[in-house]
Amino acid sequence: MGTVFPYAFENKRYHTLNYHLKNQFGQKIFKVALDGGFDCPNRDGTVAHGGCTFCSAAGSGDFAGNRADTIPVQFQEIKSRMHEKWHEGKYIAYFQAFTNTHAPVEVLREKFEAALQEEGVVGLSIGTRPDCLPDDVVEYLAELNERTYLWVELGLQTVHQTTSDLINRAHDMDVYYEGVAKLRKHGIRVCSHIINGLPGEDYDMMMETAKAVADMDVQGIKIHLLHLLKGTPMVKQYDKGLLQFMTKEEYINLVCDQLEILPPKMIVHRITGDGPIDLMVGPMWSVNKWEVLNDIDAELERRGTVQGARYATEVLK
């Protein structure tokens, strides 16, 4: 295709977060997942009740620290666990569980500043919703962005309102675009989360979501595979036949197609997802995470393609 191989030192054909961070900091950087003790506006009645139907009791923070512990205690515990895999490196404190801007600014400041004070922390990654970005919170995030390396991760999941309603997202696309604009006004990096395999969505719908993200002013993307966990509201939808699990082959081909239409500079934070094996309903093939990642690499190589190979023709046309 005549495409220059873009991410050579990591031997990847897509722009990984690991590649980006090594270029940014000159060494290994890994995330330490924390639970700040926050709630979610579509659980506590602010906008809805029950939460997103795919979301676990841990607020999608199943691998984060224990919210009963302080931020420093959580940080040390999760950091030590991560060092079993990577012996050296510095850290991004990742506020993962629930909605991490759903609190007064003074509460956010207490949590985030505690994480920044931990030795070796070079930045923050804050997972939240686009409807939880009031002006005073955005102003504090802008302040953080001046002082440290910052990502704000915004859950999108899908651009299709019928699906969004079905999974109880409790916000629409206008709210999402407004949230992105608020953050980008201050130069804050934004990572959009999307989920492949949501109930009722076919290939074309999932590609439309990826195309929409490709066209946004966001700097990163997380591509998740829907994995169904015991105890989530989506189990009832599964029992009613509203959800069919993707096969591994379907997922690999879809992700490769999505990568091809993303801007080459967009940073890919994740291309699959897994959950605690004791809670998994399916698809069970997803628990073999490294096998999935390796198969995606192999398919990109088989195609002779890279991230962004079809960006100009598919998204900008």
Q: How many residues does the chain have?
A: 317
User: Does 170 map to a domain?
Assistant: yes
Q: Is the pLDDT of residue 1 over 50?
A: no
Mean pLDDT on 129-144: 97
Q: Tokens for 83, please give them.
A: 């060092």
Q: Are 274 and 227 in contact (CB under 8 A)?
A: yes
Domain of 277 in residue numbering reads as 17-303
Mean pLDDT on 111-125: 97
Q: Is the pLDDT of residue 219 over 60?
A: yes
User: Does 231 map to a domain?
Assistant: yes
Per-residue pLDDT, 58: 60
Q: Rounded CA gap, 283 and 247, in Å?
A: 8
Q: Is the pLDDT of residue 254 over 80?
A: yes
Per-residue pLDDT, 50: 85
Q: Rounded CA gap, 128 and 139, in Å?
A: 15
User: Does 164 map to a domain?
Assistant: yes
Q: Tokens for 267, please give them.
A: 């940073």
Q: Is the pLDDT of residue 179 over 90?
A: yes
Mean pLDDT on 285-299: 94
Q: What is the number of structural domains in the chain?
A: 1
Q: Is the pLDDT of residue 8 over 70?
A: no
Q: Is the pLDDT of residue 178 over 50?
A: yes
Cα 42 off chain centre by: 19
What backbone torsions phi and psi does residue 44 show, to the nearest 5 degrees? -95, 5
User: Does 10 map to a domain?
Assistant: no
Mean pLDDT on 4-29: 85
User: Does 67 map to a domain?
Assistant: yes
User: Does 1 map to a domain?
Assistant: no
∠ CA 243-307-294, rounded to 5°: 65
Residue 170 pLDDT grade (very low, low, confident, very high; cuts 50, 70, 90)? confident
Mean pLDDT on 95-124: 96
Mean pLDDT on 250-276: 94
Q: Is the pLDDT of residue 33 over 70?
A: yes
CB-side neighbour CA atoms (13 Å) of 181: 6
Q: Is the pLDDT of residue 16 over 80?
A: yes
Q: Are 81 and 112 in contact (CB under 8 A)?
A: no
Q: Tokens for 235, please give them.
A: 């189990």
Q: Is the pLDDT of residue 267 over 80?
A: yes
Q: What average pLDDT is seen over the chain?
A: 92
User: Does 229 map to a domain?
Assistant: yes
Residue 317 pLDDT grade (very low, low, confident, very high; cuts 50, 70, 90)? low
Instruction: Name the residue with tokens 């201050």.
Output: 186
* Beta strand ranges found along the chain (DSSP E): 29-34, 90-95, 121-128, 149-157, 189-196, 220-225, 228-229, 267-270, 280-282
**The domain that contains 169 carries what CATH number?**
3.20.20.70
Per-residue pLDDT, 60: 62
Per-residue pLDDT, 2: 44
Mean pLDDT on 251-269: 97
User: Does 3 map to a domain?
Assistant: no
Q: Is the pLDDT of residue 127 over 50?
A: yes
Q: Rounded CA gap, 96 and 120, in Å?
A: 19
Q: Is the pLDDT of residue 313 over 80?
A: no
Residue 85 pLDDT grade (very low, low, confident, very high; cuts 50, 70, 90)? confident
Per-residue pLDDT, 56: 76
